[in-house]
Structure 1
């Protein structure tokens, strides 16, 4: 329960906590000049204690001394102002770990998402904007910007909300803390764009950061944070955290010490909003094509606040809106010429001039008809979550499984991110001709490849790097039912996958999958995922002569002759968590072990 804290009582304490003369270099300045002076001040003395050092910091910086005053972790996503907190964390003993519900554990919440700066130091371990918060709520907040929620899709036990934005100038998904901590969030973000203003041009925007040192934020987000700063003044808890952070890290948050700096730099609100249009996109080129698709890429535009989207026009009509600098336009007609140009947009709705126009002709169609067979845009994946586990979902009649995966990263809206695992489809009819997919390396790591497997046999590879790129593998040409897998060749690179599709194939020259036959409809594993290391199979089993269990890479793990002589189940032994294939004579069925 909150103790009553009046800003007027503590306003005089803030400056008294900073060393004498700490802010002298900022005296008499305003606007961008003041922001730069403060950046220099708080960069000097900053000691990077490392990401693991945050756990040590929280034992002094994030302890509840002003609400219950019980020595538990002060979590802005669970602290309740009326009544008891829904749960409490003991510093050092409830660290995440895994979680499934609120109250499981606490972790390190980057108020400015670490994906925006590729987990680089010193940002990734800067205690001034990284709070100890509940793991589940942190996962739900994901990397969404902060704003006013109109319609909530998730509400935490203390009233923090995730949902559609009702903030002027932005219509995407946002996260809104309770009123008590809105000013805290605003001042942490103001600290970030001041401390790291020289690096902003190299960061991703996340629909919140600007690409230039001043103002450093997109206009819509700046106006939200200015309002929150003014409506929720600095509290005693913030002052104590700033002092403890200074002791631990060697620098301070100037907007807690001197709240007036905020309006001296940015004003109380940006009048009239952003009126400057982004620069024209350059370098538009055709990066690939098939008989029914054309892939495009271009050089990013610049903007005084930040580019939020690119509109792609085909033959003069709007065809797609994307946030990355590449896309693939599918569903085209073979041997047909198309023209394209791109328009950049910012958060305020300002549009750039049209880019130069490029034209391309799709490839000639096969003598075998080849149409778009399966399209997966990952918009139906589970809710955004930063933990790694097995995720399953269905879309357009196809089931999907991603192992060692997370759901909070984006390329063209939602994407699935795979680490030491794979993405695998359920069985799809009508074969596969060519496959197209967009990939992007997230966080740190190095360029690499995914193996593409059809029915367990490798048919090609897909490269990935730090820039989102679309790749097509042509002439796979396997007929019948197919199961498609993308297997990460790295055990640590975290790679987002988006806009996966493949064309149908039914020609007489079709290749046959070399290791595993297609799935038949006559057998079914139930339950699936399997339990108790036992596969229970339904169907006409009396004629089955041999059962084999394979990995997705085609390795045989177990062979059983006459497997159903004494019933309808097969003991699997100690299979680890993952996806496997059961082959019954010439029929294959996929199953999952959790």
Structure 2
């Protein structure tokens, strides 16, 4: 915001802590980089009172009121406010809450600047007023869960000039959302708040092409560059100060990057730290954490840097394969029974590169030589007709399996007929002979954004299926659940309309079940499996000789490490694993387990 730039600069020169209680940031004094970020995280976590999702409506009556532009007591909406002109519409606090909307100006709702889908709508993030703004429902819906960035070619423009379209930001080519210049710094500082307040949880969040999975720097390299530029371009305004103070009264904690904008540079550096000539240290501990017949998962220890590591380049057989911001990666599209060599290079925001990590080789699993048997093969040719374009619960049967699709229509196609789910799910009846691997084709219809279905077997999450504007076929391998199974695909969006076609899964076969381990694992097994009560019981010979236990998810991300795990018994206590499939690695032996 620029209206009160001179005031905010003057206030900052007089006392950078002018709006915070005396001593509020004392424990952060003298720190910089990751230690400063962690100290601020502790400060703003203390005192945070979760008022609940519905409590935001109450909070907005003091936090999101226009006292700096029209000063008329209406909702200050960053997606409709025109700083130098007449607003296209105004909202009365408490009166024009959504509700439903079809066009701009219908109502205002709760816009998560960091999309709530990235943290599964969990508390306290889902109701944290510091990064959830009162905004127009239609524009909020168009922004969806896209990251923020510079728009090249716009596909949508709001009435105040906020844009959705293809990215013109260096390092990212997907769809992005760009607010007007007046509020770019506001957005940046809200996101900086989020990755600081919840830095200890970032490893469990989805990235959304914006978040990083580690506490520092906490953001994708390209997104960090965008936000640093916006922070510098649009200094803290009186409206932000007012909102921070009101949020503190309402919620009990503050946004430190509004109170002291210098924290941004102290933690993340400038937009282009040209004076940074020190390269990160080489990554260590490169390890093969999992293999399939077509993929190899890698993990490694974080590098260090005088400013901060921004990304890791993963090389396969000497060629760059992918770049990630976390300390794990899964390389897909590989050939069965083939050995590949990998190494990793760390990079910082200034473009300095570390030396190569030590190389490691991994071999993909053997592909099956016998054709798999499909237990279920649903082509949706038997779905009901009638009012095909309306959304309702649809039921039908095929091949002895009953199906139910909620909030679904039947007039869209992929490969002939398809079922289209909006705010609902597709669920099978009970099928015998278990499930091995599941394959399905999806396509986003009409407008909307890329997203995912959550796949559940007998109520337990086993993976996700992505969807986008182009029809795509996805396989979840090695689910491997025996007995009677019920399969559900649940749309994680309430508005995206997604067609589903050619859904099938193979029967479970004990002999064909995935075994990502060497011969030593044959004497070690998890019992019972699925595990319960966050405790894994392991049976086998010489367990006391095992030096290290590691738990990974199916994307190869390390979740927990325990040294000498069986020193005092034969069980491992896990750290709050959600429902799903995980990998347990015991020294060089690995096996899967299911958490209910």
TM-score computed with the length of structure 1 as normaliser: 0.59
Deviation sequence 1:435-478 (CA, Å, 0-9, x none): 62499xxxxxxx9736xxxxxxxxxx89633677705899xxxx
- Between the aligned partners of 1:302 and 1:393, the Cα distance in structure 2 is 50
Take 1:270 and 1:217, find their aligned partners in 2: how far apart are those partners?
Answer: 16
2:250 match: 248
Q: Deviations over 1:525-575 (max 9, x none)?
A: xxxxxxxxxxxxxxxxxxxxxxxxxxxxxxxxxxxxxxxxxxxxxxxxxxx
CA distances 1:338-369 after superposition (whole Å, capped 9, x unpaired)? 7778898999899986761214234435999x
CA distance in 2, matches of 1:438, 1:463: 21
Counterpart residue number, 1:125:
127
Contact 2:413/2:499 (8 A) holds in 1: no
In structure 2, C-alpha distance between the alignment counterparts of 1:360 and 1:283, rounded to whole Å:
17
Distance 1:151 1:495 in 2: 22
The alignment of Structure 1 onto Structure 2 pairs a total of residues equal to 427
Written as runs of structure 1 = structure 2, the 5 A alignment for 1:61-80 is 61-80=63-82
Is 1:436 the counterpart of 2:435 in the alignment?
no
Once residues 495 and 173 of structure 1 are traced to their aligned partners in structure 2, the CA distance between those partners, rounded to angstroms, is: 16
Task: Specify the alignment match of 1:12 in structure 2.
Answer: 11
Report if the CA contact (8 A) 1:295-1:326 is conserved.
no
CA distance in 2, matches of 1:317, 1:503: 36
Closer, same or farther: CA 494–69 of 1 in aligned 2, 3 Å: closer
Q: For residues 367-399 of structure 1, give each alpha carbon's deviation from its aligned partner in whole angstroms, at most 9, with x where no partner exists.
A: 99xx9999xxxxxxxxxxxxx965778565435
Q: Which residue of the partner structure matches residue 461 of structure 2?
A: 464
| Deviation, structure 1 residue 295 | 6.2
Relative distance call for 1:494 and 1:92 in structure 2 (3 A) is: closer
Give 1:109 shift: 1.3
- Report SS of the residue matched to 1:221: helix
1:403 aligns with 2:421: yes
Separation in structure 2 between the aligned mates of residue 77 and residue 308 of structure 1, nearest angstrom: 35
Give the structure 2 partner of residue 364 of structure 1. Answer: 370
The answer as to whether partners of 1:327 and 1:470 remain within 8 angstroms in 2 is no
1:285 equivalent among 280, 291, 301: 291
Runs of 5+ in structure 1 lacking a partner?
Answer: 287-293, 375-387, 406-418, 425-433, 440-446, 451-460, 475-484, 505-594
The Cα shift of 1:36 comes to 2.5
Structure 1 segments (4+ residues) deviating >4 Å: 272-281, 294-297, 299-311, 315-330, 336-355, 365-368, 371-374, 388-397, 466-469, 471-474, 485-504
- Deviations 1:107-129, CA, capped at 9 Å, x for gaps: 21111122222222222211111
TM superposition shift of 1:194? 1.7
Answer yes or no: is the 8 Å Cα contact 2:97–2:107 preserved in 1.
yes
Contact 2:172 2:222 in 1 (8 A): yes
* Distance change (3 Å), C-alpha of 1:128 and 1:46: same
Equivalent pair of 1:211/1:302 in contact (CA under 8 Å): no
Higher mean alpha-carbon deviation, 486-495 vs 101-110, is at 486-495
- Residues 287-366 of structure 1: pairs in structure 2 closer than 5 A: 296=295, 298=297, 356-365=362-371
Which secondary structure state, in structure 1, belongs to the residue aligned with residue 418 of structure 2? strand
Local SS of the residue matching 1:83:
coil
Compared with structure 1, are the counterparts of its residues 321 and 235 closer, same or farther at alpha carbon in structure 2 (3 Å cutoff)?
closer
Q: Please, what is the CA RMSD of the aligned residues?
A: 5.0
CA distance 1:302–1:399, change in 2 (3 Å): farther
Give unmatched runs, 5+ long, in structure 2.
304-308, 381-405, 429-436, 443-453, 466-474, 481-485, 506-596
Q: 1:44 to 1:57 in 2, by over 3 A?
A: same
- Once residues 342 and 503 of structure 2 are traced to their aligned partners in structure 1, the CA distance between those partners, rounded to angstroms, is 25
**Could you say what secondary structure the match of 1:174 adopts?**
strand
Counting only pairs closer than 5 Å after superposition, residues 464-483 of structure 1 correspond to structure 2 as 464-465=461-462, 470-471=476-477
How much has 1:186 moved relative to structure 2? Answer: 0.8
CA deviation after TM superposition for structure 1 residue 19, in Å: 1.4
What CA deviation, in whole Å up to 9, does each residue of 1:222-268 have, x standing for no partner? 12111111110111110100010010011111111111221122222
Task: Return the alpha-carbon distance in structure 1 between the equivalents of residues 491 and 373 of structure 2.
Answer: 38
SS at match of 2:17: helix
Partner of 2:225: 223
2-side partners of 1:132 and 1:465: how far apart? 35
Match of 1:36 in 2: 38
Taking a change above 3 Å as real, the CA distance of residues 344 and 98 of structure 1, as seen in their structure-2 partners, is farther
The residue correspondences of 1:49-60 to structure 2 (distance < 5 A) are: 49-60=51-62
Alignment of 1:143-162 (within 5 A): 143-162=145-164
Match of residue 214 from structure 1:
216
Q: Report the Cα distance in structure 1 between the residues aligned to 2:103 and 2:498, rounded to whole angstroms.
A: 27
